[in-house]
Amino acid sequence: MAAPILTASGVSKRFGPVQALQNVAFHVAPGEVHALLGINGAGKSTFIKILSGIIQKDGGQITVGGEEVHFRTPEDAIRAGIATVQQHPELVPDMTGLDNIFLGRESARRGLFSRIDQRGLERRAKALLSRFPVALDLTLEVGRMSAVEREAVAILQAIAGENTRVLILDEPTSTLTDIEREDLFALMGLLKAQGIAIIYITHQLEEVFAIADSFSIFRNGTCVARMTVDEAKAGRVSLADLMLGEAIGDIFPPRAATAPGDAVLEVGALCLQGDFDGISLTARKGEVLGIFGLVGSGCDELAKAIFGVTPPDSGTLRLRGQVVRLTSPRAALDAGVFLVPGDRRTEGLVLSRAALFNVPLANLRRAAAGRWSLRRRRMQGDARALTGDVALHPPSLTTPASGFSGGNQQKIVLAKGLYSQADVYIFVEPTVGVDIGARAKIYALMRQLSRDAAVIVISSDCDEVHGVADRTLALHKGRQVEPVSGVFSRDALLMAGIMGEVAQ
């Protein structure tokens, strides 16, 4: 393999009492896809932010192309040839793909009154697509694009400069379907062929063997392992065990050993025009109900209809046998229904506020304890206990939610759900961006909650639904698909969600 284009040695970073990175060594070569792995809080995000110029290292050395570099701003990193696509790319949905790619670089001249050269932008886009030919209509507004098309725009935006030598992709497949994932891998292949080094962060461990040449594993702020994918295959290395430092075993807890209890939530012939039609289901205490469906199946819309975000056009909801009309999330929370949304950043958290603010939001009556004002000391004690239950890392109640990794943001949402003390918990895509160790803890939490509440898990990950649920059904293009025999096998559930058919 060629000499490394980027190296790091002895890189360290501390945040107050927390040693986030300690003497990290790392390197990646031109045209190499290198997976960066580790559980949430292992130091991956801190390391990537240092490489991207977002934060500065405390010590150590970084070289690009054999020359030592010091990044004080993201612009410094870009000038050195390091481009980053964050887990949630910041694109302007009302602007076209073309305008997003060259946003801030519309003119060769700088200044307040510099003119946008539209024809020049089109020529530059044509040249860019000649290097990386992807099927992408850049005249389309980003808000109307699919998830993989938006990811492609973000990547083209990142590499639009002439000197990009290293591309960092942070959880790029977290919202993609299997087919869209393959499209992204094809684009990564084009980048690799052009000699661009790719640092690939993912929690989907099967992707490492599908796309990467090599990988590094971070644990507790240090790089504890580095090897090629071929070496890992030959040695039958368990990536999960390396990440955790111990054998993990089966990440799914045992299913309920006893028969489920009384019905808590009953959904009858629920309809929402254009999204789903005639959905009927029962969620019982003592079991986990799983619903599998791909993007566009109506799963997310169903969850939001039950939670009162978008009230259905027709149908009934019963809670503990009583008909209810949940016309808002506030009404749902008051009735004892809690939703862990699929998009935690925009629907689950106030990112600018700390965990101490976010956790009690769903149950302010509990936070006030019958008084006219919030009881801060009690609220703080409860929040500390609940964030401990979900293993928030670092265990800070005062850090803004935006300062945590995606997986730890999800843990704050889960703590918020525990604080709500609900009778019905609906989890939508509960483990997106969550490492395998934290996933096991989340599944165990679901099982624990199901002892006293009804739990519904809605996901586009068939293995997740089948692994964690006692009973399953599928949604396909807004239509409910149930097993003939009462229980879906894993393959039959997958077929039901993809094709809308029940295997005979």
Name the more confident of 212 and 436: 212
Q: Is the pLDDT of residue 111 over 60?
A: no
CA proximity to 393, closest of 38, 23, 49:
38
Name the more confident of 437 and 144: 144
pLDDT of residue 258: 84
What is the residue-averaged pLDDT of the chain?
Answer: 88
User: How does DSSP classify residue 96?
Assistant: B
Average pLDDT, stretch 114-140?
A: 76
Torsion 116-117-118-124 (CA) sign: negative
pLDDT band at 112 (very low <50, low <70, confident <90, very high): very low
Other beta carbons less than 10 A from residue 227's beta carbon? 15
pLDDT band at 105 (very low <50, low <70, confident <90, very high): low
Model confidence, pTM: 0.74
Average pLDDT, stretch 140-168?
A: 87
Chain centroid to CA 23 = 28
Name the more confident of 266 and 377: 266
CA proximity to 204, closest of 239, 230, 229:
239
d(CA 368, CA 272): 37
pLDDT band at 263 (very low <50, low <70, confident <90, very high): very high
Q: Is the pLDDT of residue 108 over 60?
A: no
Residues 27 and 4 sit within 8 Å (Cβ to Cβ):
yes
User: How does DSSP classify residue 17?
Assistant: T
Q: Is the pLDDT of residue 114 over 60?
A: no
Name the more confident of 69 and 132: 69
Average pLDDT, stretch 378-403?
A: 88
pLDDT by residue (tens digit) across 46-76? 999 999 999 999 999 999 999 999 999 999 9
pLDDT of residue 110: 52
CA proximity to 352, closest of 391, 279, 291, 403:
403
Q: Is the pLDDT of residue 113 over 50?
A: no
DSSP β-bridge partners for residue 201: 36, 170
Residues 361 and 381 sit within 8 Å (Cβ to Cβ):
no
Q: Is the pLDDT of residue 339 over 50?
A: yes
Residues 263 and 273 sit within 8 Å (Cβ to Cβ):
no
CA proximity to 39, closest of 435, 441, 445:
435
Contacts of 297 (CB under 8 A, 6+ apart): 460, 474, 475, 476, 477, 478, 497
Residues 324 and 491 sit within 8 Å (Cβ to Cβ):
no
d(CA 305, CA 224): 46
pLDDT of residue 486: 65
- Angle in degrees, CA 363, 364, 367, rounded to 5: 100
pLDDT by residue (tens digit) across 187-231? 899 999 999 999 999 988 889 999 999 999 999 899 999 999 999
Q: Is the pLDDT of residue 5 over 90?
A: yes
Q: Is the pLDDT of residue 109 over 60?
A: no
pLDDT of residue 102: 84
Residues 243 and 219 sit within 8 Å (Cβ to Cβ):
yes
Contacts of 237 (CB under 8 A, 6+ apart): 227, 231
Task: Please report, for residues 209, 279, 430, 446, 484, the alpha-carbon distance to residue 267 in angstroms, rounded to integers and kept in the order given.
Answer: 42, 7, 22, 21, 20
CA proximity to 311, closest of 283, 336, 332:
332
Pair type for strands 424-428 and 337-340: parallel
**Residues in the chain, total:** 504
Taken in order of first residue, the domains within the chain and their CATH numbers are: 6-244 (3.40.50.300), 263-499 (3.40.50.300)
d(CA 394, CA 433): 17
Q: Where are the alpha helices (DSSP H) in 194-236?
A: 205-211, 229-234
Contacts of 337 (CB under 8 A, 6+ apart): 265, 306, 307, 308, 319, 326, 422, 423, 424, 426
Task: Please report, for residues 242, 325, 328, the alpha-carbon distance to residue 307 in angstroms, rounded to integers and kept in the order given.
Answer: 39, 10, 7
Name the more confident of 286 and 118: 286
Torsion 31-37-40-45 (CA) sign: negative
